[in-house]
Structure 1
């Protein structure tokens, strides 16, 4: 018997161990990555904790222009195990100290603490230095502490070796256990069964039964029982076959006798069959004539059917033409309705889309050049790094302009459907306005504009808070962008009061104001005085819809050139 190239037990063992190896590898890698990210978070927390230990002394040293002391503090920080680099800058962005493994920072000042990853496995924590004097906070500079992957690795190196060693030991033990079990329970019994079955003797089937010692009542024992049962059935079949052969010999003798009688009967029937054949020949000639006539009739019907099919195709083509004409008429009517809305936004959408197309074309050209250099095998690491840097800049430009286009289209959608609001709830209007103004502080932090808010402390209303936030945000941002363009000491006042069953909001700024013609178009969609600077002209239109539809109120603007702009908003206290 030919030996088996790949045993069943070996194949099964290989597949089971392969799955175990893959799972062990995935789990070990997952544990290593978890240990890495956990250690990195701990180091980031330690960097943030260092801020509390030296920021006060460093802030005072920079405030007093004591550069040697600042350098001494920087060198002291460099002695810490988790610090690989220190950058100290003044309020202008100039470096006071730049020690160790650091990265270039943008010149704009850092206003809040933040973590940032840099190339080469370096990451840093940056935070501002604020000096408080006489109740006034001054930004005197910023500090960036750097750490790296090497420090993380030094902390988790022993743990990684332990995880890998643990996985190897468990895997080796499991392989030994599986191989022993498969050999005793499967390989050896199967080999014994195969050897006994290969010695099968068809002449003496009773001596070909198999006998294998199996401890449990499993599939191998059932295979042994089934095979021996087949041998018993084979012996019984052979006995029946011998009896059938004897009966068959007796039947052959009877058949010979019947053959003699049949030959005599055949001779008699042959004469009558000859006459019948003559009659059949005559009927055959008649059938051939009828077949020719039927074929002619079928060809005539096929010609008629082809003509009908041609007419049906022409009719179907005419119906398709009519349906296309109908669709074109419906599309023309729809486009005529939307034309007025589309005309206003076309110019704003074209600009970011054009920039996006230019960026995509540039990226495609760089890709083609890179592919040619790759195919010519002239691609260098510097060229690849340059391509990646340009790709990042191009994709960033592409995403910003596509986001701008998306925002314009979303704004366009807002004016083409009714304004809706989120779930309504009761809230204190004064506290909520303070929260909105707090969120807007970054927009006017570096300006000298003043904001005055007056609202009753106990004024509670029920509506969608997002509507109030949108209205106040649009009014404030319009004042900052349009009203205070060229104005250095702008003043904004918002007075909220209750008049009967109505809430009254009076908003006023001392900006440039609007002419009478501009005031008439203030709430029109896509009207803006700064379209060349990227204005969409949808802010006041959305604000008008929110007041009149979401709040069921009214809004009245008042303005004159050089006298600022004011809004008088009134909406029901209870709806």
Structure 2
């Protein structure tokens, strides 16, 4: 009997244990990974908790430019077990403190608290430092606290070794149990069955049946019974074989007679096949001719396709050039609008500043006069009372004009920054529309133009404020430049409503309006009624793209000659929904 190189039971045992080893390894790794994530989440929570502990004192230290105190706070944080690195930056992104294990940060300021993973197993929590003064919040800098994989592993080290040891003990016990069970229930019975089957005698099959003592009614017992049944079937088949051999001899004689008849039929079929081959040769020649014609047609079609491909490439290049030029014109239109705001604000700011300089000069002169009278001991109660009254009036004049200049600069600063930024934020639409209107006040000085804004006081939306500023500015400036052309007065109404989750803006002026042909082309790029007079034709086109693409909304326009122009704009109040 040949020795088996790989036993069935051993192979089966190997596969079962291999699956168990893999499952045990996956489960153990999963438990370790879960423990790692849980510990990491806990450490991240502790880092967030540290924000509430020291952010107030650190914010005040940076606001007061107390750099030693800020560095001292950073060194104190480095003493905490979970902190391996501290970065403190001011509002310009310059480092005040950079201690321990840290990662280089981009210069952009941090707006909200964010947890970020870095290479090398390092992760950090960054959050801004907000200082509130006189009801206004200012970002004075940001802080980043770093921790690493070593901190996490130090906390879960004992648990990891316990999980590995537990898996090893369970695996060793299961291997011993499986090996014992496989040997008694499979290996030994299979070996006995194999030995008896190897003693099979073809000449005496009735003596080759197997007899193995198997207690359970299992597959091995069925194998024994099936093998014995095969022996019985073999004995019966041998008897049938002898009978079949006799019948086969008679059948061979009949087969020889049939072969003669078949040869005659083959000769007839061969003659018919020769005629068919001649016909096929003729069809082959015709097919070769058709293939040549088809090949020529394919070459002509390929030439035409190459020409079309070249024309398509040239057209694509032309489209790219046109898109680049359009983008440049759009950016120029936006910068031109911002430039107009700068010129108007500069003129309006110069007026209150000039009054303030004059008032300050007058107050200085009167102060020198009182000082001289005091030194000469000629100061009288009447002179002092007159000086106090003049100083009070001059101070009020100074404060009034300086406050006016401050309001103009603040409004312009917010609108100008928003028009050059695409960042989204939540803001009060009513307040923002009035800031835009205030920044456009210098434009209204060209005539008696009045703008009425109706908007809910508590309406807050989330989008890029610069988009609202650009749309509102374009509508108002188009009314002044085109609708009120050659007129010294005009009335504009801007009505804002909240309908469900949408914001509805209805804009109307009482200008000269537009005809049907011009209204149909109102939102087309480069369409303007002032061709050659400085109009680019991109204002309403930019406004249409901002509403439909950036705000994901809809815009419609209505107008008749002599009845002004009306816009209806609808967009979601929160673009994240």
* Equivalent residue, structure 1, for 2:469: 476
Residue 188 (structure 1) shift: 0.7
2:507 maps to which residue?
A: 506
Shift of 1:497: 5.9
Shift of 1:210: 2.1
Q: Is the 8 A contact 2:210 2:224 kept in 1?
A: yes
For the 8 Å contact 2:58–2:70, the answer to whether it is kept is yes
Decide whether aligned partners of structure 1 residues 307 and 107 sit closer, same or farther in structure 2, where only a CA change above 3 A counts: closer
Query: Aligned equivalents of 1:481 and 1:38: distance in 2?
Result: 54
Does 1:146 pair with 2:146?
Answer: yes
1:136 aligns with 2:170: no
CA distance in 1, matches of 2:174, 2:90: 62
The residue aligned with 1:276 is: none
Which residue number corresponds to residue 420 of structure 1?
none
SS in 2 for 1:71: helix
Q: What secondary structure, in the 3-state scheme, does the structure 2 residue paired with 1:140 have?
A: strand
**3-state SS in 2 of match to 1:106:** coil
C-alpha spacing 1:164/1:479, structure 2 compared with 1 (3 Å)? farther
Could you tell me whether the CA contact under 8 Å between 2:558 and 2:567 is conserved in 1?
yes
**C-alpha distance in 2 between matches for 1:441 and 1:79:** 38
* Map of 1:345 onto structure 2: 323
Return the offset for 1:540.
3.2
Return closer, same or farther for 1:85/1:335 CA change in 2, 3 Å cut-off. Answer: closer
SS of match in other structure, 1:177: helix
CA contact (8 A) 1:39 1:155 kept: yes
* Alignment of structure 1 residues 284-363 onto 2, 5 Å: 301=279, 304-314=282-292, 316-317=294-295, 344-345=322-323
Task: Indicate how the Cα distance of structure 1 residues 191 and 69 shifts in structure 2: closer, same or farther if over 3 A, else same.
Answer: same
1:562 maps to none
TM-score by length of 2: 0.55
Which residue of structure 1 aligns with residue 516 of structure 2? Answer: none
Structure 2: how far apart are the matches of 1:525 and 1:205?
A: 100
| 1:540 maps to which of 538, 543, 546 | 543
In structure 2, relative to structure 1, the CA distance for the partners of 1:237 and 1:118 (3 Å cut) is closer
Cα contact 1:88–1:97 (8 A) shared by 2: yes
Who is 1:496 aligned against?
495
Q: Alpha-carbon deviations, 1:76-133, whole Å to 9, x = none?
A: 2122111111222233333332222222223333222222223332221121222222
Q: d(CA) in 1 for partners of 2:476 and 2:457?
A: 32
1:17 Cα deviation (Å)? Answer: 1.5
CA contact (8 A) 1:345 1:526 kept: no
How far 1:50 sits from its partner (Å)? 0.5
Distance 1:307 1:349, change over 3 A: farther
Distance 1:232 1:126, change over 3 A: closer
Is the Cα–Cα contact under 8 Å of residues 88 and 144 in structure 1 kept in the other structure? Answer: yes
> Structure 1, unaligned stretches of length 5 or more?
256-282, 351-436, 461-467, 485-492, 509-518, 529-534, 558-565
Q: 1:471 to 1:100 in 2, by over 3 A?
A: closer
What is the aligned partner in structure 1 of residue 567 from structure 2? 569
Gaps of 5+ in 2: 251-263, 329-421, 438-451, 478-491, 498-503, 510-518, 529-537, 571-577
Q: Report the aligned-residue RMSD.
A: 5.7
Maintained 8 Å contact 1:117/1:124: yes
Range with bigger deviation, 150-159 or 58-67: 58-67
User: Does the CA contact (< 8 Å) of 1:523 and 1:544 recur in 2?
Assistant: no
User: How far, CA to CA, are the matches of 2:301 and 2:188 in structure 1?
Assistant: 77
Q: Equivalences for 1:13-162 in 2 at 5 Å? A: 13-162=13-162
In structure 1, C-alpha distance between the alignment counterparts of 2:469 and 2:211, rounded to whole Å:
96
Instruction: Report the Cα offset of residue 5 of structure 1.
Output: 0.5
User: 2:474, 2:543 within 8 Å by CA — same for their partners in 1?
Assistant: no
Once residues 165 and 67 of structure 1 are traced to their aligned partners in structure 2, the CA distance between those partners, rounded to angstroms, is 51
1:450 aligned residue: 435
CA contact (8 A) 2:426 2:463 kept: no
- Give the Cα–Cα distance (whole angstroms) in 2 for the partners of residues 570 and 334 of structure 1: 40
Report what 1:381 is aligned to. Answer: none
